[in-house]
């Protein structure tokens, strides 16, 4: 009888572990992809950087995807701030470092349909995330400045 009670309690613990593991597994992303790329800069006048690094992490879930993007502006500019943001549009602005204050230009188009662009003028760099042409179900969910770099998280549903 004691052995039977021992098996019952072990079975209860195993059942709880299996149910907890199944519940946690359902919340995990289907796929995670990270890329480090750069956005080429087309200079109109002044001294401009050739490119600006960008880190993109995509987490695909059943029914949608969450994207986190960080522009590596700390190499060319000081600390900045978000000057405007909403559900579909974000604009981060920072003063350029002395060597690039004369830069007037903008980013060249990235391959694929990326909603990211850079603008250089008046001694500032603007990093813009524009989801207005991506999908009706896309929206910006989080904006922060981390280590003097813009951090933007956005999501899209199927």
Q: What is the full per-residue pLDDT of the chain (158 aa) written as tens digits? A: 555 444 444 444 434 433 334 444 444 455 566 668 889 999 999 999 999 999 999 999 888 999 999 999 999 999 999 999 999 999 999 999 999 999 999 998 776 668 999 999 999 999 999 998 888 889 999 999 999 999 999 999 87
CB 56 within 8 A of CB 68: yes
The answer to whether residue 56 is domain-embedded is: yes
pTM of the model: 0.77
Domain total in the chain: 1
The answer to whether residue 14 is domain-embedded is: no
Q: Determine the Cα–Cα distance for residues 16 and 24; give it in Å rounded to an integer.
A: 12
In terms of Cβ atoms closer than 10 Å to its own Cβ (0-12, 13-18, 19+), residue 56 is middle
- How confident is the model at residue 89, as a pLDDT? 94
The answer to whether residue 153 is domain-embedded is: yes
- How confident is the model at residue 134, as a pLDDT? 83
Distances in Å between the Cα of 140 and the Cα atoms of 70, 87, 111, 124 are: 14, 5, 21, 23
- How confident is the model at residue 37, as a pLDDT? 85
- How confident is the model at residue 133, as a pLDDT? 85
Q: Determine the Cα–Cα distance for residues 78 and 124; give it in Å rounded to an integer.
A: 10
The answer to whether residue 83 is domain-embedded is: yes
Structural domain for 88, as ranges: 29-157
- How confident is the model at residue 20, as a pLDDT? 39
The answer to whether residue 136 is domain-embedded is: yes
The answer to whether residue 17 is domain-embedded is: no
């Amino acid at each position: 009888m004691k052995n039977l009670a021992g098996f019952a309690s072990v079975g209860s613990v195993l059942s709880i572990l299996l149910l907890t593991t199944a519940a946690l597994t359902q919340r995990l992303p289907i796929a995670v992809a990270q890329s480090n790329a750069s956005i080429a800069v087309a200079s109109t006048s002044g001294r401009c950087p050739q490119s600006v690094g960008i880190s993109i992490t995509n987490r695909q879930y059943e029914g949608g995807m969450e994207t986190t993007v960080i522009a590596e502006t700390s190499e060319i500019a000081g600390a900045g701030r978000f000057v405007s943001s909403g559900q579909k549009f974000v604009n981060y602005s920072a003063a350029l470092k002395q060597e690039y204050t004369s830069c007037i230009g903008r980013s060249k188009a990235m391959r694929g349909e990326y909603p990211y662009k850079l603008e250089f003028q008046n001694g500032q760099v603007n990093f813009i995330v524009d989801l207005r042409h991506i999908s009706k179900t896309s929206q910006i969910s989080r904006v922060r400045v981390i280590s003097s770099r813009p951090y933007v998280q956005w999501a899209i549903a199927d």
